[in-house]
A = this chain, B = another copy of it.
Amino acid sequence: MRPPTPGKRTGRPRSTDADRAILDAARAALVELGWSGLSMGDVAARAGVAKTTVYRRWANKSDLVVDAVTALLDDQLELPDLGSLRADIEGVVQHFAALLGHPEAKTGLMAIIAEATRDDALRSRIRHAIVDRQKRLVIEGRTRAQHRGELPPDNGAHPGPQVDLIFDTIAGAVVHRTLVSGEPIDAAWAHRFTELLLDGLLAFPGTAGPGMPSPPSVRGADPSSNAGRA
């Protein structure tokens, strides 16, 4: 939705009904047909709008779909305080997983990410519209944990890289399991993943079966797992 552009104010104003109808139509088409099956003409027809009206707002497929998808995600960005870092992470994992369970989010996200691998402008748009936005969840959770005393306060170093690392790890795992491995994410998986993230691999060497969580280790103080190490 770019070129309604600058100061000008004359002529017939754009229909906001059309805006909504087009985004809704795009979302619906994306679910049914996928990125490559989605056509601008079809979106216009679904929205009951002329093709011109679509192109007047979005210059091409990418732009339209990015807006359609991000609008979808914007409604979902919340991180309720569940009382502990561990619970917060489990919560966000399940929340994100639930979001990716919706076919429109799933298809749309992957489609624009794929397209972005060869389109720098699209990539940076995704970065700003999606990644940076979601990163606030990590920052917020981190700050909250620091206030609770679960994590030490910032020691003066820039926390960005740390935040990025954790964001990529959490989001990556969820996305990969859902979209690449193609397995669903349930409470048990969320629990085990949180355990791994907080305590580390060396702290729970495969003793956990599915749905059979290991006892919460505090800072991984499990002597047996340290046995073979210097």
A interface residues with partner B (beta carbon < 8 Å)? 33-37, 103, 106-107, 110-111, 113-119, 123-124, 126-127, 130-131, 142, 148-152, 154-155, 157-162, 164-169, 171-177, 179-183, 189, 192-193, 196-210, 212, 219-222, 224-230
Query: How many copies of this kind of chain does the complex include?
Result: 4
Q: Closest Cβ of chain B: how far from A44's Cβ, in Å? A: 14
A142–B202 CA distance with the chains assembled, in angstroms = 12
A36–B34 CA distance with the chains assembled, in angstroms = 13
Judge whether A117 and B106 touch: CB under 8 Å. Answer: yes
Judge whether B158 and A209 touch: CB under 8 Å. Answer: yes
Judge whether A205 and B152 touch: CB under 8 Å. Answer: yes
The residue in chain B whose Cβ has the minimal distance to the Cβ of A123 is B182
A130–B179 CA distance with the chains assembled, in angstroms = 13
Judge whether A114 and B150 touch: CB under 8 Å. Answer: no
Q: A-side binding surface: helix, strand, loop or mixed?
A: helix
Judge whether A165 and B149 touch: CB under 8 Å. Answer: no
Given A118-B107, A172-B169, A228-B149; A198-B209 close (CB under 8 Å): no
Residues of B contacting A142 in the complex (Cβ-Cβ under 8 angstroms): 206
Q: Name 22 interchain pairs, CB-CB below 8 A, sorted by A.
A: A35-B115, A36-B118, A103-B117, A110-B110, A110-B117, A116-B179, A116-B182, A123-B182, A151-B201, A151-B228, A152-B224, A155-B207, A164-B177, A165-B189, A168-B176, A171-B176, A175-B176, A196-B200, A199-B200, A199-B202, A200-B201, A202-B220
Residues of B contacting A206 in the complex (Cβ-Cβ under 8 angstroms): 142, 151-152, 154-155, 157, 159, 162
Residues of B contacting A106 in the complex (Cβ-Cβ under 8 angstroms): 117
A170–B160 CA distance with the chains assembled, in angstroms = 20
